Amino acid sequence: MTEILRQKPALRARVAAWKRAGERVGVVPTMGALHAGHLSLVEAAKAGCDRVIVTIFVNPKQFNSASDLENYPRTEDEDAAKLAPFDVDTVYVPDPEEIYPEGFATQVSVAGLTEGLCGSHRPGHFDGVTTVVSKLFLQTGADRAYFGEKDYQQLQVVTRMATDLDIPVEVIGCPTVRETDGLALSSRNLLLPPEARAAAPALSIAMRAMAEGLLAGGEIGALRAQAEAAVLGAGFETLEYLELRAADGLAPMTVVDRPARLLAAAWIGGVRLIDNIPVG
């Protein structure tokens, strides 16, 4: 049975013993509702580290809507069952006061990278992410941390944060895992009504078509308009953003003259989905 720890002192004692033995510790931070995307991070951590900690904490500070926080799936028993075959060393499910004790008054905030894309549509979201992730890095003392490229802006922000704060952790991005129809795996997919789930792959299909058009030298405005029409025509309620950004640093781009990423967020069936793909 995988060990579940809920308090910092127990976690610290475990990690201290591993470090004394010269072992490399990896962490996979999650909010639970684990799917094959998370499990691919666990596999990468197992391959790259001697010890692996998976953290599960639904972080209230990164939700900018009370109903989103309330509806977020919480599936601890199923998560433990999914992790069992991977034989991770510890699952850390901190009690809320281990993360935000009485009187907690600090916020970690990254400038620049958090402006635009999800940052424009989810005020305070990235401050919540960087605050909790910095705490998880420090509490676990991990040498390596594994994040999915599916949350590409988050990956860039967390990498910047660790560098800027001299947190001695190597942040490793791992490829997005998709359903066979192309839908990027996300815990939020569980919330999609059946009709919306059936239509949801239209987002990645439209993004791939736009990426191909850009690489063929097409004009970004026209390609974006076609992609938006395809997404809305398939049943999405809104396309929040669909933007071409530099793969490193997320600067806005209009032509593919260096490695780029197409990033999107869109609503379907009352659920907000995000996706991104490499371009060039």
Q: How far is the CB of 232 from ligand PAF (least distance, A)?
A: 27
Of 29 and 119, CB closest to ligand PAF: 29
C-alpha distances in angstroms, 94 versus 17, 88, 90, 104, 229?
A: 20, 17, 12, 15, 44
Pairwise CA distance, residues 95 & 76, whole Å: 13
Residues interacting with ligand PAF, by CB under 6 A? Answer: 29-31, 59, 62, 129, 132-133, 151, 154
C-alpha distances in angstroms, 102 versus 19, 96, 99, 105, 226?
A: 30, 10, 10, 9, 51
- Residue 56 β-bridge partners: 30
Q: Is 38 labeled as catalytic in the residue annotation?
A: yes
DSSP 11-75: HHHHHHHHHHTT--EEEEEE-S---HHHHHHHHHHHHH-SEEEEEE---GGG-SSHHHHHHS---
Of 149 and 151, CB closest to ligand PAF: 151
Of 72 and 236, CB closest to ligand PAF: 72
Residues 6+ apart with CB under 8 A from 14: 3, 5, 89, 90
C-alpha distances in angstroms, 280 versus 26, 212, 245?
A: 31, 9, 12
Q: How far is the CB of 42 from ligand PAF (least distance, A)?
A: 13
**66-94 core/surface letters (b: 16 or more CB in 10 A; e: else):** eeeeeebbeeeeebbebbeeeebbbbbbb
Q: How far is the CB of 213 from ligand PAF (least distance, A)?
A: 30
Q: Which residues are catalytic?
A: 38
